């Protein structure tokens, strides 16, 4: 059977989807990934077919740089980074106001390009990233069923009274006031309405005989795959009728000659993801804490210039990007931003965490880590070296390491990419 995977042109999205593609290729047959040019090398390195589909203006091949974005998108990215420095409400408000720009860009063009891809590939199954709203709208217009993959906290596909972009839970260290929450909820509802209006307009133009797609943010696929540990999900929260938790989609990775950091202290890895590594102030604070605490530090500095971070502790391993999955086997604790890749990779490795959430569903993800007890959450904008040192010591001395190992054991049975293939194959013919 032939599988078509539709992915945004961002490495953090394409990496796990490619793991599904590789597993399908081994078990079922041909795979074509429709994505942008930034992720093409990843797709082709996995020996999968690639077809160009641009779902948005921006892209990210590994570490996002404003200078590498198209005109206009560079300023948009800088404004997002500036919003993170003002706090979570400012960040989420900014994201809500630009949601249509980011997630439903040029829907008519996406429809036309995806129509050509479907005609050429003739897939038996279609898998699409849940946040690829333009592609999901196009598939609905064409009458093509698809399996949705949620790469993030499950609230990225809202259920019940949840609203897309509004965290259903907040970590204890980052509790907004009621007035701020009302403003954010109003803005998030307005952004959902704007998406729905734009979708209706396109359907009237391009597929007037097809039924209304409704709310793209809450619309599930024929089946929904959650790349997330079931043990972290609140059992009281509703889910779509046909869903499956598949745990992590970690890639196989080697250190490739990279020696783990030397020294005698706790082994701490720091990674703020391909976007938020731009927060030089937070990275500098972690370096200061590592130096004071004698950590064996591994740090991915991303887009932050290395010279801005201050003196490194002896034996530190610091690079623009690191083989994080491989390093987690040599890590006692991971400090990260709450992105789904880092969270699921650390969870699968049984590594406790300190989460510094900045945006999107990271606040809900951080709250889950806190609730289950596999780590702590600190507010990145008020982070101090002494507070970070104390948190690392407390996490490592407490029950979090054993709870993290328990979480990893529970994830081992969720199946990852093989379970995803099984669910996709069972979902029925898509085209």
* DSSP one-letter string for 34-84: EE-GGGHHHHHHTT-EEEE---SS--BSSS--GGGSPTTHHHHHHHHHHHH
The CATH H-level superfamily of 3-247+414-426 is Glycogen Phosphorylase B; (3.40.50.2000)
Residue 431 pLDDT: 55
247 by Cβ neighbours in 10 Å (0-12 / 13-18 / 19+) ranks as buried
User: For 62-102, what is each residue's pLDDT tens digit?
Assistant: 776 767 777 888 898 899 999 999 999 999 999 999 999 88
Render pLDDT for 330-384 as a digit per residue (tens, 0 to 9).
999 999 999 999 999 999 999 999 999 999 999 999 999 999 999 999 999 999 9
- Per CATH, the homologous superfamily of domain 267-412 is Glycogen Phosphorylase B; (3.40.50.2000)
Tell me the two tokens of residue 127: 């898998």
**CB-CB contact of 316 with 297 (8 Å):** yes
Residue by residue, DSSP assigns 131-189 as T-HHHHHHHHHHT---EEEE-S-GGGS--TT--TTS-SS--TT----HHHHHHHHHHHH
Residue 155 near residue 161, CB atoms below 8 Å: no
Two tokens at 300? 């991915």
Report d(CA 316, CA 306) in Å as an integer.
13
Token output for 314: 């002896």
Residue 274 — very low, low, confident or very high, per pLDDT cuts 50/70/90? confident
Separation between Cα atoms, residue 394 and residue 99, nearest integer Å: 38
pLDDT bracket for residue 429 (50, 70, 90): low
Per-residue model confidence as pLDDT tens digits over 150-203: 999 999 999 999 999 999 999 999 999 999 999 999 999 999 999 999 999 999
Phi, psi dihedral angles at 5 (to 5 degrees): -110, 130
Handedness of CA 138, 188, 225, 323 (dihedral sign): positive
pLDDT at residue 257 in the model: 87
Matching residue, tokens 């990843």? 42
Query: C-alpha 305: how far from its chain's center?
Result: 24
Determine the pLDDT at residue 430: 57
Q: CATH 3.40.50.2000 in the chain, residues?
A: 3-247+414-426, 267-412
Classify residue 329 by its DSSP letter: G
Q: How many CA atoms lie within 13 A of 165 on its CB side?
A: 30
What's the pLDDT at 27? 97
Burial (CB count <10 Å: 0-12, 13-18, 19+), residue 191: buried
Q: How far is CA 248 from CA 198, 205, 262, 349, 350, in A?
A: 34, 40, 29, 10, 12
Q: What is the pLDDT of residues 290-321, one digit of tens each?
A: 999 999 999 999 999 999 999 999 999 999 99
d(CA 305, CA 357): 21
Per DSSP, the residues of 2-38 read: -EEEE--SBHHHHHHHHHHHHHHHHHT--EEEEE-GG
Torsion of CA 156, 159, 160, 162, to 10 degrees: 10
- Above 70 in pLDDT, residue 117? yes
pLDDT tens profile 221-271: 999 999 999 999 999 999 999 999 999 998 889 998 899 998 899 999 999
What's residue 282's pLDDT? 98
3-state secondary structure of 419: helix
Angle between helical axes of 280-293 and 385-397 (0-180°, round to 10): 60
Residue 20 has pLDDT above 90, yes or no: yes
């Amino acid at each position: 059977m032939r599988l078509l995977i539709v992915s945004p042109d961002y490495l953090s999205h394409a990496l796990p989807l490619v793991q599904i593609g590789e597993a399908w290729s081994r078990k079922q047959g041909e795979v074509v990934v429709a994505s942008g040019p930034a992720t093409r090398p990843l797709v082709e390195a996995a020996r999968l077919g690639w077809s160009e589909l641009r779902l948005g203006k921006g892209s990210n091949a590994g570490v996002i740089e404003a200078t590498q974005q198209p005109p206009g998108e560079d300023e948009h990215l800088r404004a997002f980074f500036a919003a993170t420095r003002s706090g979570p409400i400012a960040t989420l408000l900014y994201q809500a106001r630009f949601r249509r720009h980011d997630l439903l860009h040029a829907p008519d063009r996406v429809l036309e390009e995806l129509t050509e891809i479907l005609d050429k590939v003739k897939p038996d199954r279609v898998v699409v990233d849940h946040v690829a709203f333009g592609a999901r709208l196009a598939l609905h217009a064409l009458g093509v069923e698809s399996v949705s993959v949620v790469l993030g906290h499950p609230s990225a596909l809202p259920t019940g009274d949840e609203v897309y972009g509004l965290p259903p839970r907040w970590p204890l260290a980052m509790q907004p006031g009621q007035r701020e929450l009302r403003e954010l909820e109003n803005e998030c509802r307005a952004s959902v309405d704007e998406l729905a209006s734009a979708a209706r307009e396109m359907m009237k133009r391009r597929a007037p005989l097809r039924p209304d797609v409704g709310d793209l943010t809450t619309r599930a696929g024929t089946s929904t795959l959650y790349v997330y540990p079931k043990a972290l999900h609140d059992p009281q929260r509703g889910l779509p009728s046909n869903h499956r938790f598949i745990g992590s989609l970690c890639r196989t990775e080697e250190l490739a000659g990279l020696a783990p950091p030397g020294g005698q202290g706790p082994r701490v890895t720091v990674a703020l993801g391909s976007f938020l590594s731009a927060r030089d102030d937070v990275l500098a604070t972690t370096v200061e804490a590592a130096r004071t605490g004698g950590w064996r530090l591994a740090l991915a500095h991303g887009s932050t210039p290395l010279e801005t971070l201050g003196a490194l502790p002896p034996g530190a391993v610091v690079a623009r990007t690191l083989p994080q999955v491989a390093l987690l086997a040599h890590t006692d604790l991971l400090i990260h931003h709450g992105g789904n890749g880092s969270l699921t990779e650390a969870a699968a490795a049984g590594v406790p965490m300190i989460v510094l959430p900045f945006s999107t569903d990271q606040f809900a993800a951080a709250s889950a880590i806190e609730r289950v007890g596999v780590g702590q959450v600190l507010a990145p904008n008020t982070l101090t070296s002494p507070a970070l040192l104390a948190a690392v010591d407390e996490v490592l001395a407490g029950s979090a390491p054993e709870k993290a190992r328990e979480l990893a054991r529970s994830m081992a049975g969720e199946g990852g990419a093989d379970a995803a293939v099984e669910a996709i194959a069972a979902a029925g013919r898509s085209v």
